Amino acid sequence: MGYQAPYKLKSPFNEPNQETKNITCIITQMQKMGKVSCLCIAVVFVYLVASVFAKEKPDSDTDVVAYWSDYDPPANNWDFAKVGVACSSQLAGMPLELRSRYDWTGFCGKYGPQNLDACGRCVLVTNTRNGKQVKLRIVDTCGVNGLVMDLRPFDEIDDGTGHYRGHHIVDYEIVDCGYTPVTRFITRKMAN
């Protein structure tokens, strides 16, 4: 009779997940057929290690500070270059119909697309104090870890304290803009 540990440590490696069981089963079957090479085992091992440690970054966050800026797109004919937003070159040539579909925001969230990769994407912003929501198009970067919303949508979700405090506490989620030509336009611009 050998030594037995008094307890079993909890670890993701103690209990294989279904994916690991499936791959193990495949390898076992291939071994029985005599068709497993060292290369095959190495590839499966690398895949398993990568799947254990790879975690997808979320495209949302909670309790983020959202400040306001007066981009005032209508007064500036929804012209990115005239307003001087960081995404003006990436979104140059976007039809007025697409530029004016949503109000604008600068985005520097911890999660989701970063810097100029966020240009043209949409973000759903929810004021945590009253639950009011607004969908915005990301057209700018910012120097804060959060959002800098245009004044109009900032006021739309205001609970009466936003201007007094100078910001809202919001949740955000990167969402589909819901308009296929925008997706094609952005994809085409990113390919260039």
Query: pTM for this one?
Result: 0.65
Ranges of each domain in the chain: 18-53, 60-191
Per-residue pLDDT tens for 73-100?
999 999 999 999 999 999 988 999 999 9
* Predicted confidence (pLDDT) at residue 161 exceeds the cutoff of 70: yes
Per-residue pLDDT tens for 113-130?
888 999 999 999 999 999
Q: For domain 60-191, give the CATH number.
A: 2.40.40.10
Per-residue pLDDT tens for 41-84?
655 565 555 554 544 557 899 999 999 999 999 999 999 999 99
- Three-point CA angle 123, 129, 132, nearest 5°: 45
Residue 24: its pLDDT value, please?
66
> How many Cα atoms are found within 13 Å in the side-chain-facing hemisphere of 95?
9
